[in-house]
Amino acid sequence: AFGAAWKAACAAGGTIIVPKGEYLVEALEFKGPCKGPVTMELNGNLKAPAAVKSTKPHSGWVDFENIADFTLNGNKAIFDGQGALAWKANDCAKTGKCNSLPI
Integer Cα distance of 33 and 18 in angstroms: 21
Q: Can you name the residues that pair with 38 across neighbouring β-strands? A: 14, 70
What's the pTM? 0.77
pLDDT at 27 over 90: no
Give pLDDT, residue 47: 93
- Domain extent listing, the chain: 2-95
Tell the burial category of 19 from Cβ atoms under 10 Å away from its Cβ (0-12, 13-18, 19+): exposed
What SS3 class is residue 70? strand
> Which of 52-56, 58-62, 63-67, 77-81 has the least mean pLDDT?
52-56
Q: What percent of the chain has pLDDT over 90?
A: 54
